[in-house]
Structure 1
Amino acid sequence: MATPSETQRDGDGADETLLRFVERFAMVLSGFGLARMPARVFAYVLADDADRYSAAELARALRVSPAAISGAVRTLVDAGLLGKEREPGARVDTYRIDDDDLWATIVAQRIDMVEPFERIAAEGVELLGADTPGGRRLRETQEFYAFMRAKFPEIITEWQEHKRALFGDGDPDHPA
């Protein structure tokens, strides 16, 4: 449990406990290949309570330069991890998590990326022969990725049923 001094907000209103968590979460995301600054921005947007952020708000909250935020949000928008919007008449873009079913959406966006692994593994099997040790490993690789792609729709359906059981209408703020 956080002590009162750990949950105090600084002059910009950033919760120190939140920022410590964001840094730890960003380290985990970085370990999976997301660059450090986009990882920090994504972790912050995921964990903070607001639903939209301007680049200036993100820079203040994370205590970094606007230029660092600019590159980070571009990376996250391009990867489909953040949505970019502009309100009618507004002069600045805002960024938000792009979907209510965040993780299913993220994985769905990436599941087709395994198809090239299937293809190249199949090519390797044909070139090397399925009866060689390398050919057998490549065949296993091909079949693993084919299995994952085939099972993904079923896993998403199960996840959505599980999510409804946990949260009712899908709103985590109002559990069933």
Structure 2
Amino acid sequence: MRDETALRSFVEDMSRLLGDWGFPRMAGRVVFTLMAADERSLSAGELAERLDVSPAAISGAVRYLTQLSMVTREHVPGSRRDRYRLVDDSWYEVTVAKMTLLKTLADAAAQGAAAAGGRDTIAGERLAGMSDFYNWVQDNLPAMLERWAELKAAAARGDQGANR
């Protein structure tokens, strides 16, 4: 049985958690409201009503989420209204889209390490370690994402042996 009070608390808790990591709080509230909705899409008015905020606050949040490719806007035929829905596998898609950021971080940290005098200095070693980490993540993340796709496909086929 659906517990609306618990779901509202979940939305707020998750948006605070993401906010602690630098994710805009209202965008977090919108994305988790969409995730917790039984409907496939919601209008800006429905989002504003569920979150008890202004439509303007929703507008900025969905614009941000659209830029991240987490939310898509769907025009309602014969209307001037739009509806917003989560992109299928939005967390997966955002992770794939941000893979280039890993290379950028690794390269920038390597440049910082060189500027700090290389691994023979305390700062250089710290920065080189950061570069090593992001290079490792970039090298290993594709295999993890591929495994995730395999698990999802197995689950969609109803394979009970799909090991998560």
Percent of pairs with identical residues = 36
Q: Which of 69, 74, 81 is equivalent to 1:80?
A: 69
Distance in 1 separating the partners of 2:70 and 2:153: 23
CA displacement at 1:148 relative to structure 2:
0.8
1:105 is matched with 93
Equivalent pair of 1:18/1:48 in contact (CA under 8 Å): no
Secondary structure (helix, strand or coil) at the match of 1:130 reads: helix
In structure 2, the gaps of 5 or more residues are: none
CA displacement at 1:27 relative to structure 2:
1.4
1:10 is matched with none
Greater helix fraction, Structure 1 or Structure 2: 2
Q: Which of 56, 66, 74 is equivalent to 1:67?
A: 56
What TM-score results when the alignment is normalised by the length of structure 2? 0.85
Deviation string, structure 1 residues 35-89 (Cα, Å, up to 9, x no partner): 2211111111011111111101111121211111111111211222211121333
Count of residues in Structure 1 that have an aligned counterpart in Structure 2: 159
2:104 is matched with 116
Distance in 1 separating the partners of 2:156 and 2:98: 27
Equivalent pair of 1:45/1:96 in contact (CA under 8 Å): yes
Q: Which of 13, 20, 28 is equivalent to 1:39?
A: 28
Which deviates further from its counterpart, 59-68 or 49-58?
59-68
Deviation string, structure 1 residues 112-159 (Cα, Å, up to 9, x no partner): 112222122221232212322222222221111111111111010111
Provide the aligned C-alpha RMSD in A. 2.1
Moved over 4 A (4+): none
CA displacement at 1:175 relative to structure 2:
8.1
1:12 is matched with none
What TM-score results when the alignment is normalised by the length of structure 1? 0.80
The 5 A counterparts of 1:1-150 are: 7=3, 15-99=4-88, 101-127=89-115, 128-150=117-139
Structure 2: which amino acid aligns with 1:102? S
Equivalent pair of 1:125/1:136 in contact (CA under 8 Å): yes
